[in-house]
Amino acid sequence: MADFNQILDAGDVDSGIINVVVEIPEGSTHKIEWDRKHGVMKLDRVEPQIFAKPTNYGFIPQTLDEDGDELDALIITRNPLPTGIYMEARVIGIMKFVDDGEVDDKVVVVPADDRDAGNEIKTLADLPAQLIKQIEFHFNNYKALKKPGSTKVDHWGDVEEAKAVIRECQARWKNQ
């Protein structure tokens, strides 16, 4: 498998169109992660069925969040996406998140060209309120059986806040 961080960069952050690599399809209980050292996708663990991912989940290449991993992305589509593909995505906001005391933010994106539904989605306000509640509930509780209270959604931010976090993570990547 190709090393995504060597082939792809984060994309055009200023325009809000970025590159995202899919790790976990929506509805999956498989915690699949990019293994930077070996250049492959790795099954880290299998989560309980009640904590299947509410959205597709991936990362933004050539970024590094405060937790030491690439910056995460929540990818909103009508159907699950397969592991290992990359896509151009439109930034619509950010979920500021803390996991075991570490910053572990999630940039929220839609496909840059989604003629089915996504071209109408420009901000988090364009998403159904119930979906936002489900995502927040998932991330506040997905470790509850193992370590209750170890995760917390701090707040939801707009496109500009998301771009600022991406830029910080790009700088951290370059300085690693």
Could you report the per-residue pLDDT of 137-155, keeping only the tens digit for each?
A: 999 999 888 888 889 999 9
Instruction: Find out whether 31 is annotated in a ligand binding site.
Output: yes
Instruction: Find out whether 72 is annotated in a ligand binding site.
Output: yes
Mean pLDDT of the 65-72 span: 94
Instruction: Find out whether 57 is annotated in a ligand binding site.
Output: yes
- Name the pairing type of β-strands 56-60 and 30-35: unpaired
Q: Which fold has domain 4-174?
A: Inorganic Pyrophosphatase (3.90.80)
> CA–CA distance from 173 to each of 34, 39, 69, 131, 139 (Å)?
15, 16, 10, 31, 25
CA atoms 82, 83, 88, 91: torsion sign: positive
More confident residue, 119 or 10: 10
> CA–CA distance from 146 to each of 31, 55, 125 (Å)?
15, 22, 33
Label residue 50 left, alpha or beta by phi (over 0 means left) and psi (-120 to 50 means alpha).
alpha
> CA–CA distance from 115 to each of 79, 119, 120, 170 (Å)?
13, 6, 9, 30
Instruction: Find out whether 114 is annotated in a ligand binding site.
Output: no
Instruction: Find out whether 154 is annotated in a ligand binding site.
Output: no
Domain boundaries, the chain: 4-174
Query: What pLDDT score does 27 carry?
Result: 97
CB atoms within 10 A of CB 115: 7
pTM: 0.95
